[in-house]
Amino acid sequence: MAFGLTFFVLFVALWSWATFGGHVSKTFLANPLTMVQEGYDLLAKQGFLFDIGMTIWRVVGGFALAAIIAVPLGVLMGAYKPVEAFLEPFVSFARYLPASAFIPLLILWAGIGELQKLLVIFIGSVFQVILMVAVTVGATRRDLVEAAYTLGAKDRGIIRRVLLPSSAPEIAEILRLVLGWAWTYVIVAELIGSSSGIGHMITDSQALLNTGQIIFGIIVIGLIGLVSDFLFKAFNAWLFPWKLA
Amino acid sequence: MTILKIEQVSRTFPARHGNAPTRALEPTDLTIGNNDFVTILGPSGCGKSTLLRIVAGLDRPTGGRVTLDGREVTGPGADRGMVFQSYTLFPWLTVRENIAFGLRERGVSEQDRNKIADAFIRQVGLSGFENHWPKQLSGGMQQRTAIARALANDPKILLLDEPFGALDNQTRALMQEMLLGIWERDQKTVLFVTHDIEEAIFLGSRVVVMSARPGRIKAEINVDLPHPRSYKIKTTPEFVQLKERLVEEIRTEALKVAEHA
């Protein structure tokens, strides 16, 4: 822990050396102190907390929507070969479609409101989750499935009481991972045609050449990501004690 | 009274990568009576596990058929309990929940299945471990739980596929005594696959010796040692005599495998 923190200190030291030492022009990179001041200014006077709230809601909303649809589909694909044969080629193709490239189209379809932002996150996450869940469920230990059959389980019982609980920890890990990616999509979505959110604040600051605000925004995203990751991990550990026993 | 009938059951694995198809099991006949304890003994690769998997319904025979109580086996079912060589407890369930798994699939109420599970926990000597997860158990304890899990379903026949194969010698000997004790007390029909000669004699009322490549039944030997048997029986002249005979039978088969390898 202490060792890991050392790198953060080193990073800030390097940054301070470059900015306070005058090695980099103020126009391109604000120094740490200015960043903190700008950050305080943002939070206290410009209602930045509201922007943070908006961004979190978009990520969580779009991601939840994707998870609700992707997890059951992935489970079905992993459990039933015909479903997999039917969907896998399309999902594999769709997975490579860049979510950000859909933004102009989504603006056309859904306007520049919240729905458009949610859809960007949704498109960016849903295909990834489907495929990864399908692979995980498909890789369920064969001998556990056979054991369940010899104990009298039928197909429904196999899915609900073998495939699902056996894949659940991995599915939770997949969601944690993809949630991290969703954070990059939301900022892209907010850079274009948005009137609130962290991404919107960053584009505004760019117009004003306020690099302090931009860096503060980026750091806030990093911190939120770190916190959500930690919460997710703690929640998984609480949910699946048998994995750690 | 006959409970399990294996008639002309054979299994050929289809050709792969240009190799000829593998004949794992030649047409085989075997009849098992109610409450028999039959051990199937053979070197690895003799198709003994294939035969057991066909009886369990986990594999389909290429020819022939298996009938249990007069009804043809078409797939796996709760009337044939199976214990595997690998550890197959559900890692997300506790010992008690694992044992109650089959009962739950049948819709037995939680109160009833806990009562039944706890009785089997006592029987296999796992009292105090009801709420442990499989990860926290030793290999021997995991297999005891697996046996209890199969028995809790009250199957017509118990199938065991080298269940003690991965255990150390001392643990294995204790497990054999425990299983035999349960059989002597409760009278179950058991089909037990092993490559361990002593194990086959000690447990079985009848030892079926299988030959290798292609797998088929080579000999059937009745074990007329009295019950209840204790571990001390392993050093009696009768036991040693049977062992010598089976060592000869198995040795020729093992040599055949070695030559073809």
Phi and psi at B12, nearest 5°, equal -120, 125
Tokens representing residue A208 in the block: 């004003």
CB contact under 8 A, A152 and B153: yes
Distance from CA of A219 to the nearest CA of B (A): 39
Contacts of B136 (CB under 8 A, 6+ apart): A245
CA distance A84 to A74: 9
Residues A109, A117 contacting (CB under 8 angstroms) = no
Task: Provide the whole-model pTM.
Answer: 0.86
- B70-128 confidence digits (pLDDT tens): 999 999 999 999 999 999 999 999 999 999 999 999 999 999 999 999 999 999 999 99
What pLDDT sits at residue B260? 67
Phi and psi at B13, nearest 5°, equal -85, 130
CB contact under 8 A, A147 and B105: no
Residues A137, A169 contacting (CB under 8 angstroms) = no
Tokens representing residue B181 in the block: 């004790």
What pLDDT sits at residue A169? 93
CA distance A53 to A51: 5
CA distance B48 to B40: 7
A57, A66, A85, A108, A202 from A199: Cα distances, Å: 13, 21, 39, 20, 5
Residues A59, A220 contacting (CB under 8 angstroms) = no
Q: What is the DSSP letter of B215?
A: B
Among B195, B205, B187, B203, residue whose Cα is nearest residue B246? B195
Domains of chain A: 53-189 (1.10.3720.10)
Residue B179 pLDDT greater than 90, yes or no: yes
- A1-16 confidence digits (pLDDT tens): 678 889 889 998 999 9
User: What is the residue extent of each domain of chain B?
Assistant: 91-154
* Stretch B142-162: mean pLDDT: 95
Q: What is chain B's mean pLDDT, rounded?
A: 91
Pick A147's closest partner by Cβ from B88, B92, B133. B88
A154 lies within 8 A of chain B by CB: yes
The arrangement of strands across the sheet holding B63-68 comes to B22-33, B2-13, B63-68, B71-72
| Closest alpha carbon within chain A to B148 | A151
**A contacts of B159 (beta carbons < 8 Å):** 150
Pick A151's closest partner by Cβ from B86, B105, B133. B105
Q: Which of A143, A150, A160 is best to mutate for the B interface (most B CBs within 10 A)?
A: A150
- B28-71 confidence digits (pLDDT tens): 999 999 999 999 998 887 889 999 999 999 999 999 999 999 99
In sequence order, the β-bridge partners of residue B7 are: B65
A159, B43, B74, B126, B156 from B193: Cα distances, Å: 30, 11, 21, 24, 17
Amino acid, res. A93: F
Interface contacts (A, B; CB < 8 Å): 75
CA distance A228 to A160: 28
Pick B102's closest partner by Cβ from A146, A152, A242. A152
Q: Can you tell me the ipTM of this complex?
A: 0.91
- A108-135 confidence digits (pLDDT tens): 888 888 888 899 999 999 999 999 999 9
Tokens representing residue A145 in the block: 């499935």
| Closest alpha carbon within chain B to A153 | B105
CB contact under 8 A, A151 and B91: no
CB contact under 8 A, B92 and A242: yes
**Helices of type H across chain B:** 48-56, 95-99, 101-105, 110-123, 139-152, 169-186, 197-203, 237-260
> In the block, which residue shows the tokens 């643990």?
B171
Pick B82's closest partner by Cβ from A150, A154, A168. A150
Distance from CA of B143 to the nearest CA of A (A): 13
Other Cβ atoms closer than 10 A to A111: 11
**B contacts of A156 (beta carbons < 8 Å):** none
Largest CA distance in chain A: 75
- B209-247 confidence digits (pLDDT tens): 998 778 889 889 999 898 889 888 999 999 999 999 999
CA distance B55 to B135: 30
| Closest alpha carbon within chain A to B99 | A151
| Closest alpha carbon within chain A to B104 | A153
Q: For residue A118, what is the enclosing H or E element?
A: helix A114-138
In sequence order, the β-bridge partners of residue B11 are: B25
Pick B133's closest partner by Cβ from A151, A154, A245. A245
| Closest alpha carbon within chain A to B82 | A150
B133 lies within 8 A of chain A by CB: yes
CB contact under 8 A, B91 and A150: no
